[in-house]
Amino acid sequence: MPVKKALAFAREAGGVAAVSPVCKELVRQGWDVLVFSKDNGRDAFARKGISCMDLPIFDGMSLEGFLKGKWGVLPGLVLTSAASLPTIDMTEKLLWRWASSRAIPSVAILDQWQNYALRFSGPGADKKLEYMPDTICVMDELARREMLYEGLPDDRLAVTGQPAFDGIRKEHDAAVSQRREIRKRAGISDKTTVVMFVAEALKKDFGTSLGYDEISTVQFAGKILDELAAREKTDITFMIRLHPENKKGEFDRFAKKWSAIKTVVAGKELAAREAIAASDLVVGMTSVMLLESIISGVPTVSLQINSRTPSHCVATKANAIPFITTEAAGKSAISSVLCDVAFRKRYLDAQKSFNIRENATDGCVAVLNKIISGERLRS
Close Cβ partners of 321 (under 8 Å, ≥ 6 residues apart): 294, 300, 301, 302, 313, 315, 347, 350, 351, 354
Which class for 294: exposed (0-12), middle (13-18), buried (19 or more C-beta within 10 A)? Answer: buried
d(CA 237, CA 322): 24
Please state the rounded mean pLDDT for residues 146-170: 95
- pLDDT tens digits for range 245-302: 898 888 999 989 999 999 999 988 898 999 999 999 999 999 999 999 999 999 999 9
Which residue, 167, 136, 166, 172, is CA-closest to 151?
136
pLDDT: is 379 or 67 the higher one? 67
Give ∠ CA 55-61-63 in degrees, rounded to 5: 30
Domain 5-165+358-372 architecture: 3-Layer(aba) Sandwich (3.40)
How many residues in total does the chain contain? 379
Q: Write out the H or E segment, with its range, that includes residue 314.
A: helix 314-317
Tens digit of each residue's pLDDT (9 = 90 or more) over 51-73: 999 999 999 999 999 999 999 99
Q: Which H or E run contains 236?
A: strand 236-241
Q: Residue 104 above 70 pLDDT? A: yes
Residue range 162-180, pLDDT digits in tens: 999 998 999 999 999 999 9
Q: Whole-angstrom Cα distance, residue 193 to residue 265? A: 16
CATH homologous superfamily for 168-351?
Glycogen Phosphorylase B; (3.40.50.2000)
pTM: 0.89
- Considering the chain, tell me which residue range(s) the CATH 3.40.50.2000 domain(s) occupy: 5-165+358-372, 168-351
Name the pLDDT band for 378 (thresholds 50, 70, 90).
Answer: low
Q: What's the pLDDT at 247? A: 87
List, for residues 178-190, the tens digit of each pLDDT value.
999 999 999 999 9
Q: Is the pLDDT assigned to residue 159 strictly greater than 50? A: yes
pLDDT score for 375: 76
Helices and strands (H and E) in the chain: how many = 16, 12
Distance between the two ends of the chain, CA-based, in angstroms? 26
User: In this model, does residue 376 exceed pLDDT 80?
Assistant: no
Q: What is the pLDDT of residues 306-329, one digit of tens each?
A: 999 999 999 999 999 999 999 999
